[in-house]
A and B are shown apart, each in its own frame.
Chain A
């Protein structure tokens, strides 16, 4: 890093960008390797060391106390006090300091506002002000634009330029090409915890997209051509909010037909999760319609949706997919335990559950010492196979697989892909959501690209992957369309 430089770290989710920066900020300890500041190696054990070394960080999940005012958050840990031991807070000075920094860098914010009442964009400003009042030389911005609207993003970029002009260095972590090209002086692309390339901002977006989205097609999914029939899942004008009440799915229309795989490509966080959860009845629908084989699904409970013939592989298996303390057999009936032959709603039939588990374990090649082992002891791939086995063990109309092979070994990936294609071939409508573009291309018969809560294009899997990569970055085929247009 040079002084007054904006260095972009570009990479997919889970590529190791944030981990790297947390090590730099002393929140995690490195297993090996060293950190150099001004040419000298430093040991950063705590955030205090990092602050002392002149490093500031704006975390992806803001480190702000929601019920504090802006000024309180800014001075926290570096309070100016009067009255010696009494430690009387000098609130006037704190307020002036905030105003001072905010006018100097164009970060307008009210020092007396309560942070939780502020929109995310302003909260981010507070984070930046907090770092700046601590006299940092190096500012790390971890995915700062992930939560911002296009206008807010532009404002942030402007602020970054001001900071740069002031001689501050900035590490800018992102996966958004447009922003990188707009502001970075140097670009490092990271994938799977390694630097895979360094580029200058002059590099074309295609090049960058290829570097980032990455790895060459390692697996070819063998599949006969699809024979789609009538529509099974129909979504019209769907609007869904995220936890904070912000719009995550913003008017999606989609149709999935029996006997086809519709793949949803997109960088994570563009509304895919919320879309799927809305279909499953796990998240309230604000507006729009969802029908399954003609039957309306909006407002139905997850159990109703599952019973209506939907199979679901959730994106985060350890949170939503499995009960780790439960045995493999119990996890295999997690949504069937109250139905024949496994039970009648009152009583479980353990022998039936065990017998069926043994069958599924063999059929889906789950590597486990016993059907009674806790599922948490299995490898990621085998855990995923348990979920897939569970969901495919009953007749389905629609099969939804979210990130079906995340954190799964190569052998299991191949197996799971085969199962998905098999399900398609027996006439089930299949919806695959993945941030692995290759997976989507390999599996899908049609690809919908999601960006900022909308489906911005539906393309054939024969489309060049670079082109899809650009779509994922919000750049439509008609040229370098701005976000504003997409948003409008």
Chain B
């Protein structure tokens, strides 16, 4: 990044106190009193949450994305030996390096855009009657397809966060959700309509069970949910690896680790047809977002969980059972993650493989943070991540830029979001330097 010391004043405590209303500001003293004596578990996530909300503006979010994409561009350049070679003689012929880099990066990011939103060529092609309208909507379809499970796992993390718990276990809950949903999808002989609903519910139930374990352990024994959920993530992954190979689950016609195919009656139907992958999952995701927003703001349980998340002492004094809230919260979060897994397997994958859930749980964590743990914020963040992923696919096949770049960009965005002071400091610094540069140039004149 850069040398730390010169930035100390800019990002000291004063900078962390946001410009919002005084009362909601993150009070450094609160964190400082977090000494062993007066331990209050959830206040740490709470502090972090406030930091996340109060110190982040739209500007910071946008800047974070720009920064992340800039760093991505640097990576693209340094990993291209041909372009990199032009930098060896940059002082002699800077145009080679600059043009080469520009072409490389602009093409890559253009493909990212075309793969995620719309490809102008497809639009003109459609208008000219050369291709069908489906081709125009293909990028959007892909974006929505990738976004749907992320919305659900993101909501799972966000909901738990609002209740003062770190749900690092969305991944494991989603994995279990894929298993239960898929098994219900190819084992149960049910009619069209009912089958899909049952399979989805099975997914939610599986995830809920996997969320119940850390919830009850936290409530009964005080075991920290971060540790327990991390452990359960990998347990779920291994369980998936085992169950795929079992009789009744494993596809008998295949030798590799793959399960039978989910019945057509349990698959999430496509929305647009014509080979477009977007399916009912995204509708489910919208519904879940509405439901979580309602739950948080309009339901008694939402009231309880927000109270417990913000101030468990006051909640307990007001008669709210903190332990019961924790258990219910983790069950709900698990159900959402499980539903996310179900969407993945019933919507696109249709079979269980060891990688069926991909990284949707961990990505859900990023999405929840990017969305500031607010339901519609999570939804938008998931759309962004879905778009990056969809565009990343095109970038990979058209520009040869590996999909992993998307992971890097996503991680960087979230790092910047989580450290708003860093972003501010970076831009302040850059602005100051630019000004200095200008004055020196001006003097030369």
Q: Do A and B touch directly, given a CB cutoff of 8 Å in the complex?
A: yes
> How far, in angstroms, from A348 to B24 measured CA to CA in the complex?
24
- B329 → A minimal CB distance (Å): 16
> How far, in angstroms, from A319 to B314 measured CA to CA in the complex?
6
> How far, in angstroms, from A378 to B315 measured CA to CA in the complex?
19
Residue from A320, A343, A377 in contact with B300 in the complex, judged by beta carbons closer than 8 Å: A343
Contact assessment for A314 and B21 in the assembled complex, using a CB-CB cutoff below 8 Å: no
Best-buried of B299, B306, B311, B318 by chain A (most CB within 10 Å): B318
Contact assessment for B320 and A348 in the assembled complex, using a CB-CB cutoff below 8 Å: no
Fill in one digit per residue for B289-317: 1 if any A CB lies within 8 Å of its CB, else 0: 00000000111111110110011011111
Residues of A within 8 A of B313 (CB): 319-320
Contact assessment for A324 and B310 in the assembled complex, using a CB-CB cutoff below 8 Å: yes
Contact assessment for B316 and A323 in the assembled complex, using a CB-CB cutoff below 8 Å: no
Residues of B within 8 A of A66 (CB): 36
Residue from A282, A326, A345 in contact with B306 in the complex, judged by beta carbons closer than 8 Å: A326
Contact assessment for B299 and A348 in the assembled complex, using a CB-CB cutoff below 8 Å: yes
Residues of B in contact with A, size category = 20 to 34
Contact assessment for A301 and B24 in the assembled complex, using a CB-CB cutoff below 8 Å: no
> How far, in angstroms, from A376 to B306 measured CA to CA in the complex?
15
Fill in one digit per residue for B312-337: 1 if any A CB lies within 8 Å of its CB, else 0: 01111111110000000000000000
Cβ < 8 Å to B, chain A residues 276-325: 280, 282, 301-303, 305-307, 312, 314, 319-325
Contact status of A345 and B314, CB under 8 A, knowing A302-B319, A324-B24: no
Residue from B36, B306, B319 in contact with A306 in the complex, judged by beta carbons closer than 8 Å: B319
Residues of A within 8 A of B299 (CB): 346-348
A337 within 8 A of B: yes
Contact assessment for A334 and B307 in the assembled complex, using a CB-CB cutoff below 8 Å: yes
Contact assessment for A377 and B314 in the assembled complex, using a CB-CB cutoff below 8 Å: no
Fill in one digit per residue for A343-364: 1 if any B CB lies within 8 Å of its CB, else 0: 1111110100000000000000
A49 within 8 A of B: no
B81 within 8 A of A: no
- A64 → B minimal CB distance (Å): 10
B23 within 8 A of A: yes
Fill in one digit per residue for B219-236: 1 if any A CB lies within 8 Å of its CB, else 0: 000000000000000000
Contact assessment for B300 and A323 in the assembled complex, using a CB-CB cutoff below 8 Å: no
- The 8 nearest A-B residue pairs measured at CB: A376-B23, A303-B319, A335-B318, A377-B23, A334-B318, A320-B317, A323-B311, A302-B319
Enumerate chain B interface residues (CB-CB to A < 8 A). Answer: 21-24, 35-37, 50, 297-304, 306-307, 310-311, 313-321
Contact sample, A vs B, 10 pairs, CB 8 Å cutoff: A302-B316, A314-B317, A321-B317, A324-B24, A326-B307, A338-B303, A343-B303, A347-B298, A347-B299, A377-B24
Apart from A66-B36, A337-B304, A374-B21: 18 A-B pairs, beta carbons within 8 A:
A282-B317, A303-B320, A322-B314, A323-B315, A324-B23, A324-B311, A326-B306, A334-B315, A334-B318, A335-B320, A338-B303, A343-B303, A348-B300, A350-B297, A374-B23, A376-B24, A377-B24, A378-B23
Enumerate chain A interface residues (CB-CB to B < 8 A). Answer: 61, 66, 280, 282, 301-303, 305-307, 312, 314, 319-326, 330, 334-335, 337-338, 343-348, 350, 374-378
